[in-house]
A and B are shown apart, each in its own frame.
Chain A
Amino acid sequence: MAPPFALYGREFTCSRKELPLSRPALHLAVELDGDGAHPAAWRRAAHSPDQLLTPRRVAQVAAVAENAGFTLITLDDGVLPPGAAPNPVGRIGAVERAAFVAASTSSIGIAPVVPLTYAEPFHVSSQLASLDHVSAGRAGWVVTEEDQPEAARAWGRPLVEGAEARARESRDGVEVARALWDSWEDDAVIRSVATSRYLDRERLHYIDFTGETYAVKGPAIVPRPPQGQVVVLGRPDRVPAAQLDVGLVGGHDLTSITAAAAAAGTARVFAEVEVALDTPDATAAARVADLERHAPWPDQGRLRHIGSAEQLVALLRELSRHVDGVRLHPLVLDEDLAVLSRLVLPALSERRLVARPLPGTSLRTTLGLARPANRFAAASLPEDAR
């Protein structure tokens, strides 16, 4: 096995090689935005609505997910309000929440949603690299699109119209962010007292990206992320598979998920699954029905499990034959997260289908992904030889 990569002079596990196959069969991610996947989830939350946008709440749900043993949390975001009246219309930016959570957790991966349709890729790259530093190598990034015309008006930028143009902005933005992460080689800070040089400028690189709509010079202003490259997640039908570490695939049933997973072409594939579970107080069906009185649960083309924890364990077991992980979208965080942590993850852990991420381990390593060689350094020397 390659020697461990040292981070800030401390021990840090971020292997340069793919890990052996003893890794668990399934990784579980959970989406933690707002009060849950249902627009009216706030009505069943265990806290009053005015507590949603507080640091205590942000830290608390992340702590529950980390303690439960999830591999990864994701935090949805966008420039527009998360919903419309009478449902929640406020949320704190996902990168800020992610950084806050990073400082109060020790092992769980953290992936904010950051769309690139209108954002500056240079800023996004800096923010995610910084998230990787503050989390000591636990950062991920879910690439999405701003598909509402109102987003262009909010940003004050010309409308990026149509699916093809939005895909172009994602593709170019991910390319810029990734190139910037490599624009500092790992050992660019040399602190050479003999020559008075702090940096070796030969190990810093202009990226000179030129896309269809803009150009970015580089190098980054943030040193290379601890993971080398932040773990990038996204839909393989919207972002080129080669740019993604983890493809997020939908589908209403096992067959379509399996087909999408087989076609994804990404190093890892996670299935999107919405869950509503039986709780000690109410059946899943009753809970969904209760919320449906207020608002429908929009169909996002994802498999939906409404039922017992046991049935979910069986479903995840089946899915583990086809995908590397599952991202769960709980109906109501305060209710379903409790059941997931009390019943579902322990049952999967007992069957050795999932494993808790270890402190001091990068998200890449937890996912069994290699720390990528630097595209600029690789041009001169093989990284292992350096």
Chain B
Amino acid sequence: MERVEAAFPFISLSMLFPVVFALAVGLARELYARYLALVGTALTFLLSLVAVAHFDFSKADAVQLYEEYAVLPELGVKLALGADGLSLLMYFLTTLISLVAVVWSVGDEKVSYRLKEYFIAFLLTETFVIGVFTAFDLIVFYVFYELTLLPMLFVIGIWGYKLRLYSAYKFFIYIFVSSLFLLLGIASLAVYHYKTKGYFTFSYFELLGLQMPLSFELFTFLLFFIAFAVKTPIVPFHTWLPDAHGEAPTAGSVVLAAVLLKMGTYALLRFNVGLFPEATKLLAPYLVALGIFSIVMASWMTISQTNVKRFVAYSSVSHMGFVVTAMFLLNMEGLRASVIEMFAHGLTSAGLFMVAGFIYNRLHTFNFRSLKGAIKFMPLFATVTAVIAFSAMGLPGGSSFWGKFLTVLSAREHSTLLAFAVVAAAFFSGAYVLYFLKTLYLDTKEESVLVHFRDLEGAPLVAFAMILLPVIAVGLFPFVFFAFFEASLKLLLKLIGH
């Protein structure tokens, strides 16, 4: 992979900004915490826009804005940050979602105590996630990947809902333990490199061309896969997610679903597919099957939920199933579908969690049944919800349409039967959205509890607007976003010899 040195350290600066503002939040009075956080994330978002503007899209497969600082030369560890088109999109998503999360928190009534820690946690998360998406050194990637756990542990455990401690615990243990396998995998890769080439390195670029015996490749593939399958999550490993996402405060769920889940699929694409092409080709059919299984199972589980947040959480699992299925179809349409679906799901899941949070703030319940028809009294909110939910369902014009449509196209390249399987799975994932909307809109509220609620206004409205704009943009102009990552995907396909 080609590397282009950064003329200006955009990426390290956008990782530094939130840390600096987190320090400021720590030192300033609690009163100013939310404004400082707002300014910090907004500045970082603007910086990411400038970075996107400086990105040379004509060679989007090269790692641009590349910075490198030696950490431990003896073992080949260096802080290598950069972005190709794929990373750039994820980096942009991160800064956007962080800003949305902070904007939302400003108007969230649940966020009323220990404000300093709250905003510090979100600011640090932003830094760490940017690190994950832009690291091109495996140890550095791992460091940031694990670091995202700590602030989220606190966010879930302190500001979460009823089962918060249990969920925080479960979240941390699942992800931490699974990622130990990743650490072993990374370590064994570096050692293998030492044994064949004579020096240690964790650099993605150098490990990319490593020739391994198939058995070793399969072994390390699986070590990486365990970590990312739990993170993504793929169905038998998903049980931490409904608890973590269901109990976290709204902004926490937004960040968890929109950005942290993408770390799993991004890493699958970047590391598993990139570093272990032979193993990928060998295991791809099984992983596609697992992905389809994931979609169907998660969709069924979604339909049976009565808690809005858990409903959205399970729907995330089914969406991530699409991402995994599409990815391991291993053709251009499939990879495209998986990346655009990652981005689209980042937006719609954030939106849906905000819908859930908004409902809670008005009604103080997450229970579906007590919401029957409630949405009628809030026309603006009803519209927003409908747009986001239909987008998530994959209605043409909505953001998730392209992901699903391209997945079917890509499956058709393999066999018509497979395409039918994907369509059948997509049917279930559509069903739960319709069920959700039916309960909100069409069922009537019992008269005794007929109350008028205030509609969307203030900070939540701004947060929704910031989500809706890109949702519609992805739906209507997908090729703008394809331009980000198409070149990177071509390079990946070349690596696996397609």
Partners in one complex: no
